[in-house]
Structure 1
Amino acid sequence: MTKCLRLVTHGGSFHCDEVLAYAILCRALLPEALAASTLMRTRDQGVIEAADIVWDVGGVFDPTRGRFDHHQRGAPVRPDGSPYSSAGLLWAAFGHDAVRAILAGRGDENVVGKIWTEMDEQVIRLVDLADNGKRPVPDFGDEGLDRAARIADGMALSSLVEVLNLPWDADVIDRALAEDERFARAAEIAGAFLDGRVEQIRARIAARDIVLEAHARSADPRVLELDRGMPWQGPAHDADLPVLFAVYPDKGGDAWMVGCMPPEPGSFAQKLPLPAAWAGLRDAELARVSKVSDAVFCHLNRFIAAARSREGALAMARIALGLAREPAGLGAK
Structure 2
Amino acid sequence: MTDGLRLVTHGGSFHCDEVLGYAILCRALPPGTLAASTLVRTRDRGAIEAADIVWDVGGVFDAARRRFDHHQRGAPVRTDGSPYSSAGLLWAAFGRDAVRAALAGRGGEDVVERVWAEMDEQVVRLVDLADNGQRPVPDFNDEALDRAARIAEGLALPSLVEVLNLPWDTAPADRARAEDERFARAAEIAGAFLDGRIERIRARVAAYDTVLEAHARSADPRVLELARGMPWQGPAHDADLPVLFAVYPDKGGDAWMVGCMPPEPGSFAQKLPLPAAWAGLRDADLARVSGVGDAVFCHLNRFIAAARSREGALALARTALGLAPVPAAGLP
The TM-score by the shorter chain falls in which range?
Answer: over 0.9
Closer, same or farther in 2 for the Cα pair 1:127/1:56, shift >3 Å?
A: same
- Which residue of the partner structure matches residue 74 of structure 1? 74
Deviation at 1:56, TM superposition (A): 0.3
Closer, same or farther in 2 for the Cα pair 1:241/1:139, shift >3 Å?
A: farther
Deviation at 1:179, TM superposition (A): 0.3
Corresponding position: 1:97 with 2:97: yes
- Which residue of the partner structure matches residue 27 of structure 1? 27
1:306 partner SS: strand
The 5-angstrom pairing of residues 72-221 of structure 1 reads 72-138=72-138, 152=152, 156-221=156-221
Deviation at 1:140, TM superposition (A): 5.7
Kept in 1: contact 2:223–2:247 (CA 8 A): yes
Q: Which amino acid aligns with 2:73?
A: R
Q: Which amino acid aligns with 2:219?
A: A
Using the size of structure 1 for normalisation, the TM-score is 0.93
Distance 2:254 2:138 in 1: 41
Deviation at 1:327, TM superposition (A): 3.8
- Which residue of the partner structure matches residue 14 of structure 1? 14
Kept in 1: contact 2:242–2:330 (CA 8 A): no
2:98 partner SS: helix
Q: Which moved more, 1:236-245 or 1:109-118?
A: 236-245
Deviation at 1:176, TM superposition (A): 0.3
- Which residue of the partner structure matches residue 230 of structure 1? 230
Deviation at 1:211, TM superposition (A): 0.4
Identity of aligned residues (%): 85
Q: Which amino acid aligns with 2:132?
A: N
1:70 partner SS: coil
Q: Deviations over 1:269-288 (max 9, x none)?
A: 21111111111111111111
Deviation at 1:167, TM superposition (A): 0.6
Distance 1:167 1:127 in 2: 22
Q: Which amino acid aligns with 1:103?
A: L
Distance 1:103 1:153 in 2: 29
Deviation at 1:328, TM superposition (A): 5.6
Distance 1:134 1:105 in 2: 36
1:54 partner SS: strand
Corresponding position: 1:265 with 2:262: no
Deviation at 1:69, TM superposition (A): 0.4
- Which residue of the partner structure matches residue 52 of structure 2? 52
How many residues align structurally? 325
Distance 1:247 1:116 in 2: 31
Q: Which amino acid aligns with 2:53?
A: I
Distance 2:138 2:259 in 1: 29
- Which residue of the partner structure matches residue 254 of structure 2? 254
- Which residue of the partner structure matches residue 294 of structure 1? 294
Closer, same or farther in 2 for the Cα pair 1:316/1:135, shift >3 Å?
A: same
2:89 partner SS: helix
Closer, same or farther in 2 for the Cα pair 1:302/1:140, shift >3 Å?
A: farther
Kept in 2: contact 1:272–1:327 (CA 8 A): no
Kept in 2: contact 1:126–1:154 (CA 8 A): no
Deviation at 1:325, TM superposition (A): 2.7
Q: Which moved more, 1:123-132 or 1:236-245?
A: 236-245
Kept in 2: contact 1:60–1:72 (CA 8 A): yes
1:27 partner SS: helix
Distance 2:15 2:124 in 1: 13
Deviation at 1:322, TM superposition (A): 1.3
Q: Deviations over 1:26-49 (max 9, x none)?
A: 100001110111110000000100
Closer, same or farther in 2 for the Cα pair 1:95/1:169, shift >3 Å?
A: same
Deviation at 1:92, TM superposition (A): 0.3
- Which residue of the partner structure matches residue 65 of structure 2? 65
Distance 1:307 1:120 in 2: 40
Deviation at 1:321, TM superposition (A): 1.1
1:22 partner SS: helix
Deviation at 1:153, TM superposition (A): 7.6
2:156 partner SS: helix
Q: Which amino acid aligns with 1:128?
A: D
Kept in 2: contact 1:17–1:128 (CA 8 A): yes
Closer, same or farther in 2 for the Cα pair 1:153/1:222, shift >3 Å?
A: farther
Using the size of structure 2 for normalisation, the TM-score is 0.94
Q: Which amino acid aligns with 1:86?
A: S
Distance 1:262 1:276 in 2: 17
Q: Which moved more, 1:129-138 or 1:118-127?
A: 129-138
Closer, same or farther in 2 for the Cα pair 1:313/1:154, shift >3 Å?
A: farther
Taking only aligned residues, the RMSD between alpha carbons, in angstroms, comes to 2.1
Closer, same or farther in 2 for the Cα pair 1:254/1:227, shift >3 Å?
A: same
Distance 1:240 1:10 in 2: 48
2:296 partner SS: strand
2:281 partner SS: coil
* Structure 2: tracts of 5 or more residues without a match: none
